[in-house]
Homo-oligomer: A and B are copies of this chain.
Amino acid sequence: MARLDGRKKDEIRKTKITRDYLLYPDGSVLVEVGDTKVICTAMIENKVPPFLRGSETGWVTAEYSMLPGSTVTRKMRDSSKGKVDGRSQEIQRLIGRSMRSVVDLNLLGERTLWLDCDVIQADGGTRTASISGAFVAMADAFYKLMKEGALEKMPVKSFVSAVSVGIVNDEDVLDLCYLEDSNAKVDMNIVMTDKEEFIEVQGTGEEAPFTMDELTSLLEIGKKGCCDIFEIQKNVLGKEIYELIGE
């Protein structure tokens, strides 16, 4: 059975990462995955949260939000609701954790890297697009610190990308758009390194539970998707930067 947009089951959507999208952040990209568009910025602050003061260790943290006009029905702002959105918190915790897993925080010194992922258009997969984009913004910010002489070595150990997989109409599919996601009986987000290791695997069968075989099969196509994104990340960063990663 064909997918809505004619893609193959294990094919990611057209994915584009535009570097230097904004003027002021230390790193900034617009990541487009099909119709999903996210602005990811990376900004260095020369201090760390209280629990790390004096530790000579850095920190990486993320915030995630959706613009009111990013969805079909207007999304009310958190600041208007006066209460934080649980889903947003869950996503920003995931982004932060994923990035920290490949950063050597000791090399970073007592600095905080703020990653902000603001969704301007949401057609499914906003959290995975945020991770794939935030990685590039982060690499740019650290590279800037290196060029300024503030860091001797790139503190990033591996590439990180993320993609969703799911079971839709009894078929495993890669990189679900919103409509596919709404009809998926199983939905899984995968975050990987370019060493083919998993950083996060989050699968949920709210609609219907899934077997070990289904899980294994989904992980396989997820791995393929992440690898396709590593290619895009490497191309956009260029050899000069990507060869510093994981040195």
Interface residues of A (CB under 8 A from B): 22-25, 28, 35, 39, 41, 43, 45, 63, 65, 67-72, 74, 77-80, 82-84, 86-87, 89-90, 92-93, 97, 100-102, 114, 116, 118, 120-121, 123, 158, 188, 192-193, 195-212, 215-216, 219, 223
Contacts and interface: CB of A to CB of B under 8 A. Distances in A.
A42 B198 CA distance: 36
B63 A41 contact: no
Contact of A79 (B78, B118, B200): B78
Contacts of A35: 23
Contact of A86 (B72, B93, B102): B93
A203 B207 contact: no
A192 B45 CA distance: 41
A63 B81 CA distance: 13
Contacts of A198: 203, 205, 209-212, 215
Contacts of A78: 77-79
Given A201-B201, A205-B198, A65 B89 contact: no
| Copies of this chain, count | 6
Contact of A202 (B79, B201, B223): B201
A103 to B, nearest CB: 11
Contacts of A114: 68, 74
A156 to B, nearest CB: 13
Nearest to A189: B202
Contacts of A216: 212, 216
A72 B205 contact: no
Nearest to A196: B211
B116 A209 contact: no
A209 B78 CA distance: 33
B211 A200 contact: no
A5 to B, nearest CB: 14
A79 B71 CA distance: 19
A215 B196 contact: no
Contact of A207 (B92, B101, B212): B101
A216 to B, nearest CB: 7
A203 B200 contact: yes
B25 A69 contact: yes
30 contacts: A22-B120, A23-B35, A24-B71, A24-B72, A25-B74, A28-B69, A39-B69, A43-B69, A45-B74, A63-B80, A68-B114, A68-B116, A69-B116, A69-B118, A78-B78, A86-B86, A86-B93, A90-B90, A101-B205, A101-B207, A101-B208, A102-B209, A196-B212, A198-B205, A198-B215, A199-B206, A200-B203, A200-B205, A201-B215, A202-B202
